[in-house]
Amino acid sequence: MSRLGLETNIVDSKTYDASVDMLREAKVVLPTFEELAAPPLPADLDGGLQARLKSLDPDAPDAANLLRVDWFNGPGRTDRVQIPEHLVIPESLSGVPARIVVLLGDRFPLIRAHKVLAAYGCLAPRLVTGQFDPKRDRAIWPSTGNYCRGGVAISRLLGCRGTAILPEGMSAERFEWLEHWVEDPGDIIRTPGSESNVKEIYDKCAELERDPENVIFNQFCEFGNHLAHFLCTGRAAETVFDNLPGLNERTQLRAFVSATGSAGTIAAGDYLKEAYGSLTVAVEALECPTLLYNGYGAHNIQGIGDKHVPFIHNVMGTDVVTAISDHDTDDLDLVLQSESGREFLRDRRGVPAELLEKIDAIGFSGICNVLAAIKTARYFNYGSDDVIMTVATDGAALYPSERARTLSEKYGDRFDQVNAAEVYGRAMLGQSADHLMELTHRERERIFNLGYFTWVEQQGVSIEEFDARRDPGFWYGLRDLIPAWDERILEFNAATGLSA
């Protein structure tokens, strides 16, 4: 139970009391899940806190920034907005009439990626149930990039030691950020390989777990990750959709598209399916099509994980699986972030300049999600009254080193409008409905069963725990954890004497 983050009662009262004492001394107030899903506007905050937040750098290691770990930060990330920041991709860019709406993860504080929400969603329940002592324990954050950064940031805000585990082949910008945030260089652990090498991360976690003071926050099997996104990302997408301009009785939210990664973000698809009847579309790299073809391989769509089925993925509630090539994401990043590429899109395709000015909010996995949304629209013949929602986990600022490598290796350091047109025609307009599968019950069972080899044979999950997730009732029942955890958080804040 504890290793899956399912506890709601206080497990260790001594650890709980020690945590209360430490956070009281540090003046840390923990936000509830409900507050992160529907945060108060500045006018509703205490005057002193309002003034503090207004002047506080959103990337500062200050505990007040916990109140910003949500989708409702404005462009500068110091102001609050009523509708989460998003981009609407028009037909002039996508080539399909359906509206593709992209929530922007780079508006989050501390790491400019929405994985900081998942990290908080995993640590907070452990903290308020006496399973983690921030003074004694070390938080271990296994990841392929952004989640471990989020974990290190949340750890530092709570005054505890956080350790990042990630593949050595991830972008230089991720490591630069980590080097700035950790106090001990030993808290950056590089494992062999790149995006596809999740097993190597698990092996390192198993080694570290032999020390009882190392607490593993494995995003791939921590249900706090799933529930944070179900509630917070689902609610954010709902708010955006309900406030889209031009809504009418014919407008329908057709699909939520998400690269699987740790399977946290895709939980928002469960929320939206219940609210609107939308499909949930899982995306992976074509170079490593595990869900689609039982395949394997390496790729460069950083942040989406693969070669296994995450324990927190509601496979039986997934409707479509599709795959995108990293050749397309690498090259389209050049189109979107180069001056020649933007000139081509503006002058030859008529893409609004206002959109191009904001397009740097979409990183590699965001491009992947947009391309998968285009595939989905083409496959189902969605039209102008149809909406597909997706997420850009992070922005282009995390990939200059990768962009420079693509520019050098593929284009000899010269990328002009002709190159941009060729890439755009192939990767965007030429994005067909191939490598896409509508899932039958049998296909869902096939994908579900793939997880056995990781979770039962390798990670020691019982077959009963594994099989329980086939039942939709299991996933509905998880939601009872949210109010239970929120009650614990409120009790914890009351114990510190720092309740808002």
Percent of the chain topping pLDDT 70: 96
3-state secondary structure the chain: CHHHCCCCCCCCHHHHHHHHHHHHHHCCCCCCHHHHHCCCCHHHCCHHHHHHHHHCCCCCCCHHHHHHCCCCECCCCCCECCCCCEEEECHHHHCCCCEEEEEEHHHCCCCCECHHHHHHHHHHHHHHCCCCCCCCCEEEEECCCHHHHHHHHHHHHCCCEEEEEEECCCCHHHHHHHHHHCCCHHHEEEECCCCCCHHHHHHHHHHHCCCCCEEECCCCCCHHHHHHHHHHHHHHHHHHHHCCCCCCCCCEEEEEEEECCCCCHHHHHHHHHHHHCCEEEEEEECCCCHHHHCCCCCCCCCCCCCCCCCCCCCHHHCCEEEEECHHHHHHHHHHHHCHHHHHHHHHCCCCCHHHHHHHHHCCHHHHHHHHHHHHHHHHHCCCCCEEEEEEECECHHHCHHHHHHHHHHHHCCCCCHHHHHHHHHHHHHCCCCCCEEECCHHHHHHHHHHHHHHHHHHCCCCHHHHHHCCCHHHHHHHCCHHHHHHHHHHHHHHHHCCCC
Tokens of 277: 């009847």
Residue 326 reports pLDDT greater than 70? yes
Distances (CA, A) of 313 to 73, 222, 304: 27, 11, 13
Place of tokens 């404005």: 74
pTM assigned to the model: 0.95
Name the residue among 302, 326, 289 with its Cα closest to residue 410: 326
Place of tokens 């390989």: 193
| 390-412 mean pLDDT | 95
Residue 378 to residue 353: CA distance in whole angstroms:
26
Tell me the backbone φ, ψ of residue 456, rounded to 5 degrees.
-90, -50
Question: Taking the chain, what is the end-to-end CA distance rounded to the nearest angstrom?
Answer: 31
Residue 181 to residue 252: CA distance in whole angstroms:
43
Architecture of the domain made up of 2-72+110-223: 3-Layer(aba) Sandwich (3.40)
Residue 175 reports pLDDT greater than 60? yes
Within 10 Å of residue 97's Cβ, how many Cβ atoms? 14
Residue 405 reports pLDDT greater than 90? yes
| 250-264 mean pLDDT | 95
pLDDT band at 299 (very low <50, low <70, confident <90, very high): confident
- CATH code 3.40.50.1100 region(s) in the chain: 2-72+110-223, 86-109+224-438
Tokens of 47: 């005057």
| 378-407 mean pLDDT | 96
Tokens of 29: 């107030």
**What radius of gyration, in Å, describes the C-alpha atoms of the chain?**
22
CATH topology assigned to domain 86-109+224-438: Rossmann fold (3.40.50)
Residue 375 to residue 369: CA distance in whole angstroms:
10
What pLDDT sits at residue 195?
62
What pLDDT sits at residue 159?
92
pLDDT band at 261 (very low <50, low <70, confident <90, very high): confident
What pLDDT sits at residue 43?
64
Sheet containing 86-89: give its strands across.
86-89, 99-104, 386-392, 252-259, 279-285, 320-324, 436-438
Name the residue among 295, 299, 303, 298 with its Cα closest to residue 321: 295
Distances (CA, A) of 171 to 119, 362, 411, 452, 491: 20, 16, 20, 31, 41
Name the residue among 235, 273, 308, 287 with its Cα closest to residue 83: 235
What pLDDT sits at residue 500?
56
Residue 200 to residue 203: CA distance in whole angstroms:
5
Place of tokens 């998003």: 86
Q: What is the pLDDT of residues 177-222, one digit of tens each?
A: 999 999 899 999 999 876 667 788 889 988 999 999 999 999 999 9
Q: Pick the range with the lowest mean pLDDT from 118-127, 285-294, 304-313.
A: 304-313
Task: Name the average pLDDT for the chain.
Answer: 93
Name the residue among 267, 405, 232 with its Cα closest to residue 330: 405
Those residues with Cβ within 8 angstroms of residue 422's Cβ, 6 or more apart along the chain or in another chain? none
Residue 36 reports pLDDT greater than 90? yes
What pLDDT sits at residue 298?
81
Buried b (16+ CB within 10 A) or exposed e, 52-67: ebeebebeeebbbbbb
Those residues with Cβ within 8 angstroms of residue 251's Cβ, 6 or more apart along the chain or in another chain? 244, 385, 386, 387
Q: Which residue has the higher pLDDT, 46 or 391?
A: 391
Residue 469 reports pLDDT greater than 90? yes
Distances (CA, A) of 256 to 122, 237, 253, 444: 23, 9, 8, 18
pLDDT band at 162 (very low <50, low <70, confident <90, very high): very high
Tokens of 65: 């920034």
Q: Identify any residues that bridge with 163 across adjacent strands, giving them in sequence order.
A: 140
